[in-house]
Amino acid sequence: MTAAPPPPPSPRLVVGIDLGTTNSLAAVRAGKLPHVLRDRDGQPLVPSVVCYHPDGRVLVGREAKALRLELPDRTVFSVKRLVGRSAREVEAEATRLPYRVVAGERGLPRIAIGDARHSPEAVSARILQRVKAIAEEALAQPVQAAVITVPAWFDDAQRQATKDAAALAGIDCLRILNEPTAAALAYGIDGKKDGTVLVYDLGGGTFDVSILRIEDGVFRVLATAGDTHLGGDDFDQLLADRILAALPGAVPATRQSDPFVLQAVRAAAEGLKIRLSSANEAELALDLGPRGTARLTVTRAEFEAAIAPLVQRTLDCVQRAVKDAGLRLPAIDDVVLVGGSTRVPLVRERLRNLVGKAPHTDVDPDLAVALGAAIQADVLAGNDRSLLLLDVIPLSLGIETLGGAVQKLILRNSTIPTSVTEEFSTGVDGQTSVDLSIHQGERELAADCRLLGRFQLRGIPPMPAGLPRIAVTFLVDADGVLRVTAREHRTGVEAGIQVVPTFGLSRDEVRRMMLDSIEHAQTDYVAREAIDLRNKAEAMVRGTRKALALAELPPDQTWAVHKAVKALEALLAGAADTAALKAGCDALTEVTATIADDVISSAVTKALREEERR
Ligand code: ADP
Ligand code: MG
């Protein structure tokens, strides 16, 4: 008797998820084209809003968004701004939010709802769970794995935190994908043809522009720019001000401090705005009960005049991104629109005028990212091997070396995944452990870069300084998560670290750190040179002393070398400037040069052998 044959493995189902600041959604590719997954009402967008109701229910999506009026301090929106960052980093952000953000353990932000504390990742997980449930219902099958998108400028910690949120939601996140890359894929720019793509993403509260270079099927982010507080919400605010002004009676300030009125007005403003994307004029009669009724008509021309300065700000960012990519506008082959706010006609028109090219409009801008993620998901599921996707890291990564300098292992804008190994050694004789500090940034000194993490490699057999060979490997995986390992050659002892999510960086900070490095290039160079020289002088003193002890030199030569070593030591002990140190090193080199090479080298070899035998 034989067992029944096992059922054929079902094709692996991997969905693409756009986890947005304002809205989230899922898409899947079955066959050639991807399609978005809709809920029972036919809606693909889930507002990225979670409401912790006093009665214990947790509402997500539209139901939660509706409660922003009633429960402003229990309704969490824009949580993407907090994910993967420290409490200190989101302090300024939190002042803009109606719900309470407090510092929790390890300096991580927690959203305080009554006595409960929620991590931003846990809130994101609620949104992901909802998106997953909609997908499962639409597909009538369980969804375990997904590709989730993030802004191109998200750093290691923010990417890792997004993966953590997925894990909390019971989703195996196979890949974190950059949003602009996903959008380009959705528009059919799939790498079969080389080119340069400008992705313009104007969402609810954020604006991102990315320049992608596609070559031989490889996508690279050449540059990103944007504004973390610019989007459709600002358009809404301008209209909300007009609505408030149209209310009869009472003092405007008191009305504005009433969250109920404010929220109702904001919702009405968004409705007006959306109508103005397709109509030339929109009317509103907003009944606010005892507070009266706001009646007004807004023409598209009035709306456009109001938002024009905001649109201009996005165009300034576009120009900066193009410049940062080392390009000029005519080099752009394709313009891709992403985000619900690119439905505003003025936005499209101004962008077309600037770039001199009509943007692609054949994909819904608010669905594009999810559709592209679905294509990538399908590739990862093993159903399409024609695409390879690469992204870049935003800031250089390195380790602190002797004297506080940073040695960069992975340079900014390197494509990921990437791995670099370099050899290091000890700075002190008999040293049995080394401390490794990992830094991120463009500056030369560790103190000016951002400390990402530290670890210690122990168990190095005692040897003279400089002899142990320690291979340090930096590996940034396809999701942009950094792992650092250090391995001592002889013993094979190894230690490592993965960057933990307390170190999120905002895009503004990334930009600031880059600008800083340019601004301080000259002073940094000088400081770095001084450190390098000091390290070299210390090594020379050590090496020469050791050689002196072993070499059988005539007394006058021993004396001359000894004097030069002493002089250099005195310089090192004092606050000698670079020029003086350099002169001291040169003087020592000169006297040792008079000693026959073979004497020194045989002495050094002997010294090392003895050290090893110990
Ligand atoms: P995010 O990427 O931030 O999650 P979306 O891409 O979903 O955001 O964009 C949401 C924004 O798009 C909101 O401000 C919404 O009001 C705006 N929006 C959606 N549809 C339209 C439209 N037809 N006209 C103008 N703005 C729109
Ligand atoms: Mg978006």
Does residue 461 have a cis bond before it (omega within 30 degrees)?
no
Two structure tokens written together for 3: 């067992």
Task: Confirm whether 179 is a catalytic residue.
Answer: yes
CATH number belonging to the domain at 522-613, selected among 1.10.3720.10, 3.40.50.1000, 1.20.1270.10, 1.10.10.10? 1.20.1270.10
Mean pLDDT score of the chain, rounded to an integer? Answer: 85
Fold of the domain built from segment(s) 15-232+305-392: Nucleotidyltransferase; domain 5 (3.30.420)
Average pLDDT on 490-500 reads: 79
User: For residue 494, what are the CA distances in angstroms to 12, 44, 289, 421, 470?
Assistant: 37, 48, 69, 14, 9
For residues 382 and 368, give the distance between their C-alpha atoms in angstroms, rounded to a whole number. Answer: 22
User: How close is the Cα of 366 to the center of ligand 1, in Å?
Assistant: 7
Please check the confidence at residue 255 and state whether its pLDDT lies above 50.
Answer: no
- Enter the CATH code of domain 233-304: 3.90.640.10
**pLDDT value for 612:** 44
Burial class for 604, CB neighbours closer than 10 Å (0-12, 13-18, 19+): middle
Which residues are close to ligand 2, an ion, with C-beta < 5 A?
A: 20, 203
Q: Is the pLDDT of residue 368 over 90?
A: yes
Give dist(CA 482, CA 611) in Å, integer. 36
How far is the centre of ligand 1, averaged over its atoms, from the C-alpha of 363 (Å)? Answer: 14
Q: How far apart are CA 565 and CA 569, in angstroms?
A: 6
For the chain, give every domain's residue range. Answer: 15-232+305-392, 233-304, 397-519, 522-613
Q: Which residues of 421-453 are buried (b: 16+ CB within 10 A; e: fewer)?
A: eeebbbbeeebbebebbbbbbbbbbbebbbebb
Position in ligand 1 atom list of the atom nearest CA 273: 25
**Ligand 1, atom 23: nearest CA belongs to which residue?**
274
226 vs 249: CA distance, rounded Å: 40
Query: For residue range 164-217, what is the model confidence (pLDDT) as tens digits?
Result: 999 999 999 988 999 998 999 898 876 667 899 999 999 999 999 999 988 766
Task: Compute the average pLDDT of residues 78-104.
Answer: 92
Task: Look at residue 278 in the predicted model and tell me its pLDDT.
Answer: 97
Q: Exactly one of 179, 208, 227, 442 is catalytic; which is it? A: 179
| Residue 201 is a catalytic residue | yes
pLDDT at residue 54, rounded to an integer: 96
Given CATH 3.40.630.30, say whether it is the number of domain 397-519: no
Residue 4 has pLDDT above 90, yes or no: no
Residue 18 annotated to the active site: yes
Alpha-carbon 544 to chain mean position = 47
Residue-level length of the chain: 614
**What count of other Cβ atoms lies within 10 Å of the Cβ of residue 114?**
10
Pocket of ligand 1 (CB under 6 A): 20-23, 203-206, 231-233, 270, 273-274, 277, 339-341, 343-344, 366
